[in-house]
Amino acid sequence: MRCIKRMFSLCAVVVLALSGAARAASAETPHIPPAPTVTPTPTVAPVPETITKDPTLLSKNLNDAVRDRPLGPVTARPPARPEVSIKALVQVEGKPIEAFIEIKGHGLFLVREGTHLSVPTEEKLNLELVVQKLTGDGAEIEIPALKDRLLVR
């Protein structure tokens, strides 16, 4: 046990001696302050030339493309109107009128006012038909894509 106490006291003496040596060494060397951090001053980017140009003027490439395009009628034609006929009108008391309409090449459809039908055309487009009005005399069908109305009797 005495050996352990002596060993601890010997360690304490060594630690104190070393810390004293470190203090003496630090007293001999001059204190050097850390280098100051230099922050670069922000620079303002120059305004691009495109912003200062008039935005309503066309660029040279676009102006050439517009000038060189052929003038004339548009060659695309609107889709043909489908052939529609009424096969039967169904009037039940207390219910809205319904009709069986036939669209040539597409079959029979039971429709009411406000019914939307999508019919494929020869141009591989879908043409929308909207039943606007059904009366005992016939039907009024709108084709929004053609801005047209069909009166079917």
Average pLDDT estimate for 51-56 = 70
User: Is the pTM for the entire model greater than 0.75?
Assistant: no
As a whole number, the mean pLDDT across the chain is 77
Query: What is the tens place of the pLDDT at every residue in 3-47?
Result: 455 555 545 545 545 555 455 555 566 677 777 777 777 777 766
Measured from the Cβ of residue 131, the count of other Cβ atoms closer than 10 Å reads 22
Q: How confident is the model at residue 50 (pLDDT cuts 50, 70, 90)?
A: low
| Section 102-116 average pLDDT | 93
Structural tokens at position 56: 């309503």
Beta-carbon-side half-sphere exposure of residue 13 (alpha carbons within 13 Å): 6
Tokens linked to 79: 């889709």
Query: Per-residue pLDDT for 82 more than 80?
Result: yes
